[in-house]
A and B are shown apart, each in its own frame.
Chain A
Amino acid sequence: MNKDTLLIAGKSYNSRLLIGTGKYKDFTETQAAVEASGAEIITIAIRRSNIGQNPNEPNLLDILPPSKYTLLPNTAGCYSADDAVRTLRLARELLDGHSLVKLEVLGDPQSLYPNVVETLAAARTLVADGFQVMVYTSDDPIIAKQLEDIGCVAIMPLASLIGSGMGILNPWNLQLIMDRVQVPVIVDAGVGTASDAAIAMELGCHGVLMNTAIAAAQQPVLMASAMKLAVEAGRMAFLAGRMPKKLYSATPSSPTSGLIS
């Protein structure tokens, strides 16, 4: 059997767990969690620099060197296509021409639900500008297909709201998306604990992206290890093919003959 890898925009990854770097106590914890997770694709955000008021501020890129990880700059906090495009052009300059990005255009600050109209517009601009776009979106299969048609290299639907930890609330919608698109489908947002990640993978999702589920755990580094195993276990279970569900089991696991009398 060929090695089971995640293929995104022509590049293979061994890990199907993608993690964010927000909300950690400090960079030491961020680094330890990233290591424990085994993730190869790591999301980062782009924000205004200090302008002299804090010259010795540590830099995230020093602990997560682009030579070691595939850094995935995001557009978190952007509410319009224009802001998202500007942010990713800055990210590309910051990362020396790196073109793989995570697009997310939010709809409102209460739900952080995606604004799919702005997302579609931004995706069109970015793809035309040479970006390889992994896109956070709703679990709408029609929008997912449109994003693929535009040229996005991965479709990343939410499983529940960002940071909610509510788990996989939409398995049937995820299935509808997977039935329609050819590019990898990666659950982005909603995972709360290891079993959620396993469920996403058992459904056949190609990967899981998470941040808060690890960063907000009581012991983030331990949770990062748990997520690594859960994603691997879920993937293996998907490949193995689960037994059919039956309300009654009329086939005992043990022999029905040779019983003592």
Chain B
Amino acid sequence: MISVSINGKVRQFDNSITIATLLEQMQLTGKRIALELNGEILPRGQFNQQLLADGDQLEIVVAVGGG
């Protein structure tokens, strides 16, 4: 069991999964998002390889209206 913080919410997973699988579970595959893993940008091209690890901190962002 691993614990991962995603946008400030802690989620638990049985096994280590890839970022791509995580995004699929959250129905975010193919959406216009950007992702930061432990304070560093994770390029889209790495979503398929990058495995989540216990204690990871993820920020997933989108564009919204703003001035």
Contact = CB atoms under 8 A, between A and B. Distances in A.
Interface string B5-36: 01111000000000000000111100111111
A48 interface: yes
Interface stretch (A86-94, A116-124, A199-207): A86-94
Interface in A61-106: 61-62, 71, 73-74, 76, 86, 89-91, 93-95
Nearest to B39: A86
In the complex, which range does the number of interface residues on chain B fall in? 20 to 34
Nearest to A74: B66
A30 B66 CA distance: 11
A138 interface: no
Interface stretch (A16-24, A164-172, A240-248): A16-24
Interface stretch (A6-14, A38-46, A227-235): A38-46
B63 A59 contact: yes
A55 interface: yes
- Grouping DSSP codes into helix (H, G, I), strand (E, B) and loop, the A interface class, with mixed when no group exceeds half, is mixed
B41 A93 contact: yes
B67 A30 contact: no
A21 B67 contact: yes
Contact of B60 (A44, A48, A86, A91): A48
Contact of A61 (B35, B36, B59, B63): B63
A51 B9 contact: yes
Nearest to A163: B67
Given A52-B26, A93-B41, A45 B65 contact: yes
Contacts of A94: 32-34, 61-63
A211 interface: yes
Nearest to A62: B32
